Structure 1
Amino acid sequence: MRTALAVPGDLATLTGGYIYDRRLLHELRALGIDVTHIALPGSFPEPPARDMDAAFAQLASIPDDCPVIIDGLAFGAMDPARTAQVRAPIVALVHHPLALENGLDAGRAQALYDSERANLSRAVQVIVPSPHTAALLVTDYGVSQDRIHIARPGTDRPSEPACPVDPPLILSVGIQLPRKGHDVLLKALTQITDLDWQAKIVGAPLDAGYAQELADLRLSLGLADRVKLTGQIGRNALRALFGSATLFALATRFEGYGIVFDEALAHDLPIVSCAAGAVPDTVPPDAGILVPPDAPEAFANALRQVLSDPDCRQTLTAAARTAGQALPTWQDTAAIAASAIAATKADSS
């Protein structure tokens, strides 16, 4: 069996979606599938005309008997009229619908919704990371349930025992985009300064304007001595932070899945986050406290409860450990993706 995996930009980028794609490529090959990696232009989902042309030229080179998995960051923004001309069977990989990104004006959101819905009608199979995203595609995008394969991200187990630092570390991991809600976390942290803690927010500053807002907010709230915005760090450094943390906190406004939650569970960390998108499906109710999005006071109360109540923290930690041990592996993820590839053969027969 062979396939192609088309992903915009640098596959080594440290975001959840790119980590998923990179591991999927590796594990599909480990299953014996011949996978060609196609590096689409990195300007998606806002490509200039020349990059759109280049992307379709790359897709046109794929034989019509070779299924191509196209990452949703590009697929949802492609010209639907030209998508219909791609000869290779298309498997859409939708991490989360593009129209649901925070900060889009109404016109752009509608345009992305229209293009993604039209392109999904051309996909013979669809891979998603969560039941929540699957449900969105069925109810809002008209995708039939029998074409959807839910391939939850895999998780690597820690190789070193946990060693929490003092004062307790509140760890947050997510790229610096409005959707991740780091501004909400900062506002919440100002309400618990009477407690003993330190915090690190890890993630690449992909939105320069928002990153500057976060830097300014951190200073204006008087958090410079207790909160560090690390930017992007390497995988080993990130694993070390997970191992030294006391709790994981992400004030996200929407997640199509959220690989970092699984990493937190694998490290036995209690979670404080928001009941937004796929988070309630990803974070077990007994392993974390979920509050409404955009609610700094509620988020602060949840942080306070975990930090100041040892019994609560112990209960959440035990549940996180149980959930972490039951998480799927990346081999499991790849096996489901392989079934989606195989299904394209059945569709064409």
Structure 2
Amino acid sequence: MTTPRAMAFAVPGDIETVTGGYLYDRRLADALVASGIDVHQLTLGDSFPHPTARDMANALAQLDRLPANCPALVDGLAFGALDTGRLSQVRAPLVALVHHPLALEPGLETAQVREMAAREMANLALARHIVVTSPHIARLLETEYGVARDRISVAKPGFASSPATGPRRAATPPLILSVGLLARRKGHDILMRALAQITDLDWQAVIVGRAHEPETARSLHDLRGALGLSARLRLTGEISQTRLDALYGEASLFALATRYEGYGMVFDEAMGHALPIVSTRAGATPDTVPQAAGLLVPPDDVDAFANALRRLLDDRHLRKACSQAARDAATSLGGWSHTAEVVSAALFGPIWANVDVPK
């Protein structure tokens, strides 16, 4: 009987959280287990990437307890924020899972950006290998963080379900759906201001996402009222996957005015439901959303975003063409088993030639 390969997977916070990064981690863990790997989950504190002293000490203590032959996959939300000196003393081979560099989160002070970037660069230098979720992040780490390309593996998110088929049951009036954390990076304020420019059209809108940044959540609720959108725009908070799937089925288009995306799993979900997409040319979005599947505009451009929404709402033929292109794109998305294969190779493949890891 073959002994299963064993690894540790360190994730800050609750892996059951319904956001893109956590969905990636959870579905990856499930796929790794399905492939025969023994995954030991390490639950780190939820204060990362700005850890309290207690969460920092606890995270490093858990990593310290791992044996030298157990590779550890560490989510980048924690990996880039850990104390570099202490991280260098961890015996277990470390593999970083980078969704996007921490210093790219909008709203940080200049000094904070420099500090976070320097720490993450130093920590990445300690990793035996680095897994990223998109070619965009691979290019970014290579050009701006000095990471050699042969130290990076791209493990794109898998697509969890078959693309939707059959006729849609779109709501009336047309539903504009947005899904993303209530965080400044997601650009919901830009979406709201854009919606305020097209109130002459018939539509309703829903923003789904938990209050990741309480101050941002409060300001969005205030902005909705100030713009006179309370009767047409709902902010649902975090909802179940069943309710979210129902909204995807009722929507006429998907809109996310993101300021930055390392990949953007919600775009795959939207395309899987054959939704035309309005978003921005920020980060990995152009690599994720095919040109024919929607309209991409510059980030932070309210007028351009409003015009894109207007075009898709006004032009039924354009909306239908984008819907078909989105559906076609979804059929080419790979499964999570392939994602797991890439990560497994990073954990147990040829890069470990001089390390005694369990086979």
TM-score of the aligned structures, taking structure 2 as reference length: 0.95
1:177-216 deviation per Cα after TM superposition (whole angstroms, max 9, x unaligned): 0000000000000111111110000000111111111001
Aligned to 1:31: 35
**Equivalents in 2 of 1:43, 1:205: separation in Å?**
15
Q: Which amino acid aligns with 1:189?
A: L
Is 1:9 the counterpart of 2:45 in the alignment?
Answer: no
Aligned to 1:130: 134
Per the TM alignment, residue 318 of structure 1 is displaced from its structure 2 partner at its CA by: 1.0
1:87-143 deviation per Cα after TM superposition (whole angstroms, max 9, x unaligned): 111110000000000111011111110110000001111111100000010011111
Aligned to 1:235: 241
Q: Which amino acid aligns with 2:316?
A: P
Q: Which amino acid aligns with 1:120?
A: L
Query: 8 Å contact 1:45–1:77 — kept in the other structure?
Result: yes
1:261-284 deviation per Cα after TM superposition (whole angstroms, max 9, x unaligned): 000111111000000000010000
**Equivalents in 1 of 2:164, 2:44: separation in Å?**
34
**Equivalents in 1 of 2:353, 2:151: separation in Å?**
12
Per the TM alignment, residue 345 of structure 1 is displaced from its structure 2 partner at its CA by: 2.4
**Equivalents in 2 of 1:18, 1:74: separation in Å?**
13
**Would you identify which runs of 4 or more consecutive aligned residues in structure 1 move more than 6 Å?**
none
Give the 3-state SS of the residue equivalent to 1:214 in structure 2: helix
**Equivalents in 2 of 1:141, 1:316: separation in Å?**
36
Partner residue of 1:145 out of 135, 142, 149: 149
Give the 3-state SS of the residue equivalent to 2:43 in structure 1: strand
Q: Percent identity?
A: 55
Which sections of structure 2, spanning at least 5 residues, go unmatched? Answer: none
1:201-238 deviation per Cα after TM superposition (whole angstroms, max 9, x unaligned): 00001111111110010001010110001111011111
Which sections of structure 1, spanning at least 5 residues, go unmatched? Answer: none
Summarize the Cα distance change of 1:332–1:182 in structure 2 as closer, same or farther, 3 Å threshold: same
TM-score of the aligned structures, taking structure 1 as reference length: 0.98
Matches within 5 A, 1:314-325: 314-325=320-331
Is 1:348 the counterpart of 2:352 in the alignment?
Answer: no
Matches within 5 A, 1:60-99: 60-99=64-103
**Equivalents in 1 of 2:78, 2:242: separation in Å?**
29
Aligned to 1:293: 299
**Equivalents in 1 of 2:10, 2:353: separation in Å?**
22
Query: 8 Å contact 2:164–2:273 — kept in the other structure?
Result: no
Q: Which amino acid aligns with 1:76?
A: G
1:136-187 deviation per Cα after TM superposition (whole angstroms, max 9, x unaligned): 1001111111111111111122577532111111000000000000000000
Give the 3-state SS of the residue equivalent to 2:275 in structure 1: coil
Per the TM alignment, residue 347 of structure 1 is displaced from its structure 2 partner at its CA by: 4.9
Query: 8 Å contact 1:201–1:230 — kept in the other structure?
Result: yes
Give the 3-state SS of the residue equivalent to 2:126 in structure 1: coil
Q: Which amino acid aligns with 1:142?
A: G
Query: 8 Å contact 1:124–1:347 — kept in the other structure?
Result: no
Matches within 5 A, 1:42-191: 42-157=46-161, 162-191=168-197
Per the TM alignment, residue 314 of structure 1 is displaced from its structure 2 partner at its CA by: 1.1
Per the TM alignment, residue 51 of structure 1 is displaced from its structure 2 partner at its CA by: 1.6
**Equivalents in 2 of 1:288, 1:145: separation in Å?**
31
**Higher deviation after alignment, 105-114 or 93-102:** 105-114
**Equivalents in 2 of 1:216, 1:179: separation in Å?**
18
**Equivalents in 2 of 1:216, 1:43: separation in Å?**
26
Q: Which amino acid aligns with 1:215?
A: H
Query: 8 Å contact 2:69–2:355 — kept in the other structure?
Result: no
**Equivalents in 1 of 2:205, 2:226: separation in Å?**
16
**Equivalents in 2 of 1:211, 1:168: separation in Å?**
25
Query: 8 Å contact 1:134–1:148 — kept in the other structure?
Result: yes
Query: 8 Å contact 2:312–2:318 — kept in the other structure?
Result: yes
Q: Which amino acid aligns with 2:346?
A: A
Q: Which amino acid aligns with 1:52?
A: M
Aligned to 2:218: 212
Q: How many residues align?
A: 349
Query: 8 Å contact 2:164–2:274 — kept in the other structure?
Result: no
Query: 8 Å contact 1:46–1:77 — kept in the other structure?
Result: yes
**Equivalents in 2 of 1:235, 1:347: separation in Å?**
44
Per the TM alignment, residue 346 of structure 1 is displaced from its structure 2 partner at its CA by: 2.5
Query: 8 Å contact 1:205–1:211 — kept in the other structure?
Result: yes
